[in-house]
Amino acid sequence: MSGQMELVSARTVHGPDLVPDLAGADRLVISNSGGKDSLVAMDEAVRLADEAGVRDRIVVLHIDLGRTPRGHTVEWPGTTDLARRQADHYRLPFEIRRSTRWPSLVHRIRARGQFPHFLSRFCTSEMKRAVAHRFVTEQVNALGVTGRPARIVHVMGFRAEESRARARRPAVEVDSRASSGRRTVTQWYPVLRWSTAEVWQRIRDRGLPYHWAYDAGMSRLSCSLCVLASVPDLTCAAKLRPELAREYADLEEELGVPFRRELPMAEVIRRAGGAA
């Protein structure tokens, strides 16, 4: 019954969301984290790009968050390879970019002396958004459009169910921070009003390749140990990646600040059945 109710999504209430002018876009950049929402956003974007006859204008971008000082991937193992396979599924060009300043998110946390939190999401602003903006600049330079701003559509897998902030977003909006006299960047969230059940239904219906961490118990796929993750997800992640959790706990002790104010990583490890 709960699954049936979940299928009545915000799309049913709000109706179909706007779609940007894909035929008028010079480049469509699909940000793919390897997670379920990015995957289905890509599937929907490709479907509509095919209708507009512009699949050849798509490039897929994966932002790699690097390896910790002890050599662990910040993202789930296999994520980069999966993101490449997902792009290959649609025969799309695939690019990987990383921060040019920090070897990993953990290096940035150590240098800053604190973990990200809800009011200071430098993990997103510095390690993802800034990298994506540089990639857009690369694309604009390669396009060589003259006489007008290049038109870029940036596709992301944001969903309204994930946060109140995302629920307030329109499905199509101009990114004023990324736009300039040389380019207009339009953000497009094709699955913004989709429910979790609808996302998984599309994955099953299309036989799309998804990450093993979901079958291992994770509900979302961001950083393996995300400061904004739910307690069940953090506990599950600490069980699946105990060495990474230990490195985060040691970093807590080194910095003298907790991973999350109300939930130190040492406590997460205890909840996962490990020795704090």
Does some domain include residue 168? Answer: yes
Residues 6+ apart with CB under 8 A from 92: 30, 46, 55, 58, 59, 60
- How many structural domains comprise the chain? 2
The pLDDT of residue 9: 53
- Distance CA(259)–CA(276), nearest Å, equals 13
DSSP H or E run through 187? strand 183-188
Instruction: Dig out the tokens for 251 from the structure.
Output: 């970093």
104 and 190 belong to one structural domain: yes
The pLDDT of residue 162: 82
Residues spanned by the domain of 219:
212-270
230 and 183 belong to one structural domain: no
Instruction: Name the residue type at position 85.
Output: R
Phi-psi region of 123 (alpha: psi -120 to 50; beta: other; left: phi over 0): alpha
Query: Of 238, 186, 226, nearest to 18 (Cα)?
Result: 186
Please say which residue of 196, 221, 249 terminates a domain: 196
The pLDDT of residue 276: 60
The pLDDT of residue 222: 86
The pLDDT of residue 119: 82
Does some domain include residue 201? Answer: no
Beta bridge partners of 188: 155, 172
Please say which residue of 196, 226, 261 terminates a domain: 196
38 and 152 belong to one structural domain: yes
CA distances from 147 to 16, 24, 34, 144, 180 (A): 34, 15, 36, 10, 14
The residue ranges of the chain whose pLDDT is under 70 are 1-15, 275-276
The pLDDT of residue 5: 39
The pLDDT of residue 11: 55
Check: CB of residue 53 under 8 Å from CB of residue 176: no
The pLDDT of residue 275: 63
The pLDDT of residue 164: 76
What CATH number should be reported for the domain holding residue 56?
Answer: 3.40.50
Residues 6+ apart with CB under 8 A from 275: 269
At residue 261, what are phi and psi to the nearest 5 degrees? -50, -45
Mean pLDDT of all residues in the chain? 92
218 and 88 belong to one structural domain: no
At residue 233, what are phi and psi to the nearest 5 degrees? -65, -40
Please say which residue of 140, 171, 196 terminates a domain: 196
174 and 232 belong to one structural domain: no
- Distance CA(130)–CA(171), nearest Å, equals 21
Instruction: Dig out the tokens for 220 from the structure.
Output: 């979302």
The C-alpha torsion from 228 through 229 and 234 to 240, rounded to 10°, is -120
pTM of the model: 0.91
Does some domain include residue 202? Answer: no
The pLDDT of residue 34: 97
- Distance CA(109)–CA(10), nearest Å, equals 36
CA distances from 61 to 32, 33, 95, 118 (A): 6, 8, 5, 25
